[in-house]
Structure 1
Amino acid sequence: MHLNRYATSASLRQAVRSLARDHRLPADVRGRLVLSVTDLAEPEFRAGRPVALTASCENGPGDGGLLTVTFHASRIAGSVVPGDLPLPAPAISGHTATWHISTPAVDPPCTDDHRLAPPPVGSQVPPTVESCDSDEEMRAALARADSLTAEYRLLKHELAETNAGVVALYVQLEEQDERLRQAYGEVLREFEDALRPPPPVVAGLQLAVHYAPADPTAPTGGDLYDWFVLPDGTLHITVVDAVGHGVRSTRSALNVTHAVRTLALEGHPLQSILARTHDILMPFDPKLMATVLLVRLDPASGEMQIANGSHPPALLVRADGSAQYLQVRGRGIGFPFPGSDDVLSMPLAPGDLLLLYTDGLTESRKDVLEGEIRLVQAAQAHAHRTVAEIPSAIAADMHTIVLHADDTLAMAFRRSLPLP
């Protein structure tokens, strides 16, 4: 292997090009090799130190060969990274940089004993040959650049088409998702309507209801109500708050309202209905726990009866603006010793407002006493409204701050004032 030294960039480029021509390297590879060797040599030339180049060739896989070119210097600039060179060098260490380049078939073929080296210092290549080599390398570089530009444009076009397709698919999925949400919402609304009966028409009595689930996306819960007119013309109202959330609590509350309705229509006394409901349901749902409030209201006389099983008390706002909670002791379904200890009987005078609710209305700030005080204030503030507006207006006032989200139920009743 011959070690040939070079003191100028021109002689070094000449040697590398001669070597590349002898081994029929493609013009673009030749140009990259020339630039790489020259880049490494420039710091040495500026310092007045020569560099050396060696080359060897041996047979490679197939019909071609493997050209090994090694650049030697007093040192390699520390800032040089193998991958940063125009033709990356697999190995740069110490004072050398080595390239292993596949070559096409040569005649005669490379052998282990065949060693090729670049021309020694002083050999000359005609300027026309040097110029032709540079032009050829330039054309190869431009062709490669044009090829990359074309590939970039094609990739950009394909990416644009892909993005357009993704956007179209996204829009389609959004539309499908919206249709599913609408269908889901319609099913839930129908389900909710089936669970929550509309206000019955009762002469001389105005009534309205507001219900809001803790989770708007799951409008079923354990707060449920039922109201219907008994054969004697009195209005029966059931308010249930089953422990838990979701469909399971809805099922529990629904079982309670159905059992209470059956017992009420069979004519059982109001005070006995809660205990009987407990006895009926416990064998089928031993984990059921629910608070229950029962009200009977005669629209003609205004006579009102209230039984309570652990439920928040009804609130009465008189026509003169005074307010009081109607307390009745008792324990709910699934509680020890279930049933109402007594039945409260009192009149609902014309213009009086009766408010029934679940604890989601008063416990949104986690302070029951504070919630009950605020409820009185809200009821008195909105008592002048029509009954249809009152439940929602009170709920809005009570939920200005929600620290504890829960299902919320509010029901309002008022006896009509007599005609003048």
Structure 2
Amino acid sequence: MMRESRPLTTVGGVRRAVRRLARRHGLPAETRARLTVSVATVARTELAKGRRVRIRVAPARQADARESDGAVSVASVALVSTGVCETSRQDLDRLPLPATADAAGAVTWLLPLAAAPHELPAAPHEPPAAPHELPTAPREAGQHTDGDAAEEELRTVLERRDALEAEHRRLKDELEETNSGVLALYVQLEERDEQLRRAHGKMLRELEDALRPAPLTVPGLELAVHYAPADADAPTGGDLYDWFRLPDGTIHITVVDALGHGVRSTGAALSVTHTVRTLALEGHQPHTIVQRASEILAGIDARLMATLLLARVNPDTGELLLANGSHPPALVVREDGTTAYLHIPGRGVGFPLPGSEDVLRTRLAPGDLLVLYTDGLTESRRDPLEGERRLAASAAQHAHRPIGEIPEAIADDMHTVILHPDDTLALTVRTSS
């Protein structure tokens, strides 16, 4: 059986009617507040148009009851206007307690209500309620007024708000604590990374030092070298050098540029330098070493390709011999500042018809500077000829500095702009004045 209030003409009257209904059916204060605000919101629009509204409560249909999350007793609370309700479906969905509207324009809220005997009669012969208002129970001592109900709803909302704020503060504190822990972990990881970087750098320097030949102290000659890999994280690359004293007292120098980068190219360059050293110590002359080294290494690694430049310097006389296998030419800076490139045709290890076509013989006068290098020094801007011009100017500018400073100073000049990163080696030999 359906119960319906008398016509209501004010929003305040709607609120009071909803609260009375909600209290009689035992709705929690928060749900009651949501229902009161929602019904009053819809009613305000209807009343503003000069219409009257009624509040109606009735048992829900069986289909609706199945959709009510399994509530045992479900009732529909409806706002019925004297006109068709025009509140949109979107606005009904946005209410504190969403509602639906039927074709006749009645707006309905589906709620689990505790059916009080005086509200929803159990027998069909129970006399109906007066048509002008919902039946009311006699007011007893201590019964809540509408103001009390509103205060209770407000208190519930405030308690809910306070609980949410407390939960927000708790979550904020937990988040700050978590952030502090994450920050501390981040700092620890940064420190660990720095330790690993230092250890890695030390390992790379030790490995690079192990690949280098021992320093040479030769009366009448000053030697220095600078090397930088294309990849700062790689221990070395395919650019290597070797120097040693031959039995006759001359100094043999090998500069190698193996194809590729990283550790694999380092292995290839080591194979070349070791092969050349063996051949040189066996007494082979520079013009035969390039070809013979290529023949030997072809049987070890058919894919190995490398350019190389061989130099032999007599520290007593300054006599210089050069042999070349596809490598950039050596540069000489005379004591008076003039420069010249020493070209020798030839093809490198792994190239077709390998070998140096000739041996260049010249003499280094006291104070002359010899610069041996790899193409990473002159091709950083992708123009080898322009690179050779800049190299000659830089070497002439720094020729009279302490020998240990010259290779790095030249590399700094050549690498102000790098368009093509590559392993770089610069080796300098200067005769004593």
* TM, length-normalised to structure 1: 0.91
In structure 2, how many angstroms separate the alpha carbons of the residues matched to 1:124 and 1:107? 11
- State the match for 1:316 in structure 2: 332
1:382 paired to 2:398 = yes
In structure 1, how many angstroms separate the alpha carbons of the residues matched to 2:130 and 2:432? 118
- State the match for 1:215 in structure 2: 231
Q: Give a deviation string over 1:272-293, Cα, whole Å, max 9, x none.
A: 1111111111122111110000
Q: Give a deviation string over 1:63-113, Cα, whole Å, max 9, x none.
A: 842232233443334496345322233x35773433222345866998999
Give the gaps of 5 or more residues in structure 2.
none
1:70 paired to 2:73 = no
- State the match for 1:241 in structure 2: 257
In structure 2, how many angstroms separate the alpha carbons of the residues matched to 1:51 and 1:182? 81
Q: 2:109 aligns with which of 99, 103, 106?
A: 99
Q: SS of the residue aligned with 1:285?
A: coil
1:147 paired to 2:163 = yes
Q: CA 1:112 to 1:266, structure 2 compared with 1: closer, same or farther past 3 Å? A: farther
Q: CA 1:376 to 1:143, structure 2 compared with 1: closer, same or farther past 3 Å? A: same
Q: SS of the residue aligned with 1:44?
A: helix
Q: SS of the residue aligned with 1:409?
A: strand
Between 284-293 and 194-203, report the one with greater CA deviation.
194-203
Between 66-75 and 392-401, report the one with greater CA deviation.
66-75
Q: Give a deviation string over 1:45-75, Cα, whole Å, max 9, x none.
A: 1221122333223577778422322334433
In structure 1, how many angstroms separate the alpha carbons of the residues matched to 2:370 and 2:349? 24
Q: CA 1:97 to 1:261, structure 2 compared with 1: closer, same or farther past 3 Å? A: farther
Q: Contact (CA 8 Å) 1:315, 1:326: kept in 2 or not?
A: yes
1:267 paired to 2:267 = no
In structure 1, how many angstroms separate the alpha carbons of the residues matched to 2:85 and 2:157? 30
In structure 1, how many angstroms separate the alpha carbons of the residues matched to 2:122 and 2:221? 113
Give the gaps of 5 or more residues in structure 1.
none
Q: SS of the residue aligned with 1:388?
A: helix
Q: Contact (CA 8 Å) 2:3, 2:134: kept in 1 or not?
A: no
Q: 1:173 aligns with which of 176, 183, 189?
A: 189
Q: 1:42 aligns with which of 41, 44, 59?
A: 44
Between 4-13 and 123-132, report the one with greater CA deviation.
123-132
Q: 2:28 aligns with which of 23, 26, 36?
A: 26
1:230 paired to 2:232 = no
Q: CA 1:382 to 1:63, structure 2 compared with 1: closer, same or farther past 3 Å? A: closer
Letter in 2 for 1:322: T
Q: Contact (CA 8 Å) 1:358, 1:410: kept in 2 or not?
A: yes
In structure 1, how many angstroms separate the alpha carbons of the residues matched to 2:226 and 2:405? 9
In structure 2, how many angstroms separate the alpha carbons of the residues matched to 1:67 and 1:389? 95
Q: Give a deviation string over 1:178-211, Cα, whole Å, max 9, x none.
A: 1111111111111111112343111111111111
In structure 1, how many angstroms separate the alpha carbons of the residues matched to 2:250 and 2:181? 65
Letter in 2 for 1:170: Y
1:135 paired to 2:139 = no
Q: Contact (CA 8 Å) 1:15, 1:120: kept in 2 or not?
A: no
Q: CA 1:2 to 1:416, structure 2 compared with 1: closer, same or farther past 3 Å? A: same
Q: SS of the residue aligned with 1:6?
A: coil
In structure 1, how many angstroms separate the alpha carbons of the residues matched to 2:215 and 2:328? 22
Letter in 1 for 2:387: G
- State the match for 1:355 in structure 2: 371
- State the match for 2:350 in structure 1: 334
Q: CA RMSD in A?
A: 2.7
What is the total number of aligned residue pairs between the two structures? 415
1:302 paired to 2:318 = yes
1:81 paired to 2:91 = yes
In structure 2, how many angstroms separate the alpha carbons of the residues matched to 1:111 and 1:363? 100
Q: Give a deviation string over 1:22-63, Cα, whole Å, max 9, x none.
A: 210001111110011101111211221122333223577778
Q: Contact (CA 8 Å) 1:308, 1:331: kept in 2 or not?
A: yes
Q: Give a deviation string over 1:200-245, Cα, whole Å, max 9, x none.
A: 1111111111111112122421111111111221111000001111
Q: Contact (CA 8 Å) 2:257, 2:269: kept in 1 or not?
A: yes
In structure 2, how many angstroms separate the alpha carbons of the residues matched to 1:213 and 1:304? 29
Q: Give a deviation string over 1:107-139, Cα, whole Å, max 9, x none.
A: 699899999x99965569779621221121122
Q: 2:8 aligns with which of 6, 24, 39?
A: 6
Letter in 2 for 1:18: R
Q: CA deviation at 1:156?
A: 1.1
In structure 2, how many angstroms separate the alpha carbons of the residues matched to 1:201 and 1:180? 35
Letter in 1 for 2:43: A
Letter in 2 for 1:65: S
Letter in 2 for 1:369: L
* TM, length-normalised to structure 2: 0.89
Letter in 2 for 1:259: T
Q: SS of the residue aligned with 1:18?
A: helix
Q: Give a deviation string over 1:140-194, Cα, whole Å, max 9, x none.
A: 1121112112111111111111111111111111111111111111111111111
Q: CA 1:250 to 1:262, structure 2 compared with 1: closer, same or farther past 3 Å? A: same
Q: SS of the residue aligned with 1:411?
A: strand
Letter in 2 for 1:397: D
Q: Give a deviation string over 1:278-335, Cα, whole Å, max 9, x none.
A: 1111122111110000001110111111100000000011111111111111100000
In structure 2, how many angstroms separate the alpha carbons of the residues matched to 1:137 and 1:7? 23
In structure 2, how many angstroms separate the alpha carbons of the residues matched to 1:138 and 1:243? 82
